[in-house]
Amino acid sequence: MTSGGSPTATTRHSIASDTTGSGYRSLSLWHDTPELDWTPTDPLTGARDVDVAIVGGGYTGLWTAYYLAKADPSLRVAVLERDVVGFGASGRNGGWCSAIFPATLRKVAAGSSRDGARRMQLAMNDTVAEIRKVIEGEGIACDFAPGGYVSVARNAAQWARARSEVAGWRDWGFGEDHMRLLSAAEASERLGASRVLGGTFTPHCAALHPARLVRGLAELMRGLGVRVHEETAVTEIVPGRARTAVGDVTAGVVVRATEGFTAQLPGLRRAVVPMYSLMVATEPLTDSQWDEIGLRERETFSDKRHLRIYGQRTADGRLAFGGRGAPYHWGSTVRPSFDRDPRVHAMLRDVLRDLLPSVGGAEFTHAWGGNLGIPRDWYPSLSYDRATGLAHAGGYVGDGVATTNLAGRTLADLITGQQSDLVSLPWLSRQSPKWEPEPLRWIGINAVTALFARADRTEARTGRPSCTASAFWKLLGH
Ligand SMILES: Cc1cc2nc3c(=O)[nH]c(=O)nc-3n(C[C@H](O)[C@H](O)[C@H](O)COP(=O)(O)OP(=O)(O)OC[C@H]3O[C@@H](n4cnc5c(N)ncnc54)[C@H](O)[C@@H]3O)c2cc1C
């Protein structure tokens, strides 16, 4: 696939597809993996009755199914996926399996306690280890590399943020083994970036191949007796049933795991905003380029700018690199054409070449994007109401690769009535406020995106921390 190409709309969801699934291959670098077969399987053909119906075949849905099937193999579990498993963010992301919880400890503590916030972070750290355990134990080949995460500071403002970030972790009782400050030499040893003043490193992150993970999980599910119905769109979720065009799936429990697509379901338009994150990937780089770039342990990487960028060294020696900056689309609209924004893709290529000059004239072979779910308070949530049987998890803001596993484990414990430590974590059963109606939503979100982009440019030029950006982060609870 070449950058900028647009998939053909052939299904009822206007997404690339044909009977062999080859259209899905163009969705991202990860989809374009030769051994992955995207042929949709087992579409629902009529009404069914199950114990648990899960709407959405991404990590949230599949991890929930996995832990339910493990806890009680007699449960009849069905996953209902509108396109194919891994169609959404779970197949397209940056592959950072990180312990970053999208809400800050300060925000988590404000709604619970200092101890609650610490437990939340420790649960996230454990989650990266848990995913590794499952992947290795179940034999899911997804290029998992527990190399940690290096973030470099490339101007004085970013360096000040790096130091206060590490000091912040110390205040919360997290030591060097959680996150440590790197000198310029130490940071450059890990990532051969330009203008490095220092950085931070945490071991609580791994790089992985997102689509191999999500497709591997689906295969595992089928082996565990979970029915995975692809090309099965749910039109409405009500207590006791998930409605589809070919019949209702009745179930004691219905789990909503639709993340960035949630606003398309009736009654949920203002629940979660779909924001686009876009990515590019290079051809495999040469050994001498890698000698200069580093990332010898396949550390994931970024710098300390406000508008987040993220990258990884793939198992086949490419750079996969992404960032925010794409616009929010009026009315929380989601369209395949929004996955590809030539302006943002060009910006990402420029940012990567500036960050890592050794990339030089390497060809960029792939460009794609996808939507992630942002709740109004930037705080993910999950819930299970025993009375109605309705459950949900989501709003991961763009840090869902690991958080979805914690969500799946916790939902399984709640549904099976397991009194584990997980069911008392602070993110449970809290409700994010609704987003504002349009046009406020459109104006507000795009104004903040522009503000952060401007703050990054000003900081790069002057080295002085942007007061406006800091004020906005505070407003967002950071
Ligand atoms: C470009 C990009 C890069 C990212 N990088 C990272 C990263 O490096 N690290 C990280 O932690 N997070 C990252 N994220 C976020 C992360 O990928 C998500 O938080 C995570 O995958 C969410 O998983 P999910 O299962 O909740 O949602 P999804 O994977 O989006 O799955 C939802 C599924 O529901 C299906 N669906 C929707 N509506 C219906 C319906 N009505 N009926 C049936 N099915 C339906 C969709 O087709 C989709 O397959 C990134 C996201 C994007 C887009």
CA of 341 to the centre of ligand 1 (A): 19
Whether residue 259 has its Cβ less than 6 Å from ligand 1: yes
What is the pLDDT at residue 154? 98
What is the pLDDT at residue 12? 38
d(CA 213, CA 85): 11
Whether residue 78 has its Cβ less than 6 Å from ligand 1: no
d(CA 370, CA 261): 11
What is the pLDDT at residue 5? 32
Strands 234-238 and 241-244: antiparallel
What is the pLDDT at residue 20? 58
Whether residue 249 has its Cβ less than 6 Å from ligand 1: no
Which residues share a beta bridge with 151?
200, 302
pLDDT values of the chain reduced to their tens digit, one per residue, 478 residues: 333 333 333 333 444 444 457 799 999 999 999 999 999 999 999 999 999 999 999 999 999 999 999 999 999 999 999 999 999 999 999 999 999 999 999 999 999 999 999 999 999 999 999 999 999 999 999 999 999 999 999 999 999 999 999 999 999 999 999 999 999 999 999 999 999 999 999 999 999 999 999 999 999 999 999 999 999 999 999 999 999 999 999 999 999 999 999 999 999 999 999 999 999 999 999 999 999 999 999 999 999 999 999 999 999 999 999 998 899 999 999 999 999 999 999 999 999 999 999 999 999 999 999 999 999 999 999 999 999 999 999 999 999 999 999 999 999 999 999 999 999 999 997 889 999 999 999 999 999 999 999 999 999 999 999 988 888 888 777 7
Kindly report the protein residue whose alpha carbon is nearest to atom 36 of ligand 1: 56
Whether residue 310 has its Cβ less than 6 Å from ligand 1: yes
Kindly report the protein residue whose alpha carbon is nearest to atom 15 of ligand 1: 398
Whether residue 274 has its Cβ less than 6 Å from ligand 1: no
Which residues share a beta bridge with 311?
301, 321
Task: Provide the 10 A C-beta neighbour count for residue 76.
Answer: 15
Q: Report the b/e string of 345-372 with b at 16+ CB within 10 A.
A: bebbbebbbebbebbeebebbbbbbbbb
d(CA 364, CA 405): 32
Torsion of CA 1, 363, 311, 308, to 10 degrees: -90
d(CA 113, CA 435): 26
Instruction: Give 277: exposed, middle or buried? Use CB within 10 Å, 0-12, 13-18, 19+.
Output: buried
Whether residue 92 has its Cβ less than 6 Å from ligand 1: yes
Whether residue 401 has its Cβ less than 6 Å from ligand 1: yes
Q: DSSP for 325-341? A: -PPPPGGG---GGGG--
Tokens of 23: 């259209």
End-to-end CA distance of the chain: 39
Q: Is the peptide bond before 336 cis (omega within 30 degrees of 0)?
A: no
Q: What phi and psi values does residue 276 have, to the nearest 5 degrees?
A: -95, 135
Tokens of 397: 């803001």
CA of 90 to the centre of ligand 1 (A): 4
Residue 360: partners with Cβ closer than 8 Å, 6 or more residues away: 289, 353
State the Rg of the chain over Cα.
Answer: 21
d(CA 30, CA 166): 33
Ligand 1 atom having least distance to the Cα of 403: 11
Which residues share a beta bridge with 78?
53, 227
Ligand 1 atom having least distance to the Cα of 13: 47
Q: What is the pLDDT of residues 313-359, one digit of tens each?
A: 999 999 999 998 899 999 999 999 999 999 999 999 999 999 999 99
For residue 119, give the nearest of 430, 420, 431 by alpha carbon: 420
Ligand 1 atom having least distance to the Cα of 398: 15
d(CA 478, CA 471): 9
Kindly report the protein residue whose alpha carbon is nearest to atom 48 of ligand 1: 88
Whether residue 203 has its Cβ less than 6 Å from ligand 1: no
Residue 256: partners with Cβ closer than 8 Å, 6 or more residues away: 55, 56, 237, 262, 265, 390, 391, 392, 393, 394
Residue 138: partners with Cβ closer than 8 Å, 6 or more residues away: 216, 220
Ligand 1 atom having least distance to the Cα of 56: 34
For residue 316, give the nearest of 366, 272, 269, 275 by alpha carbon: 366
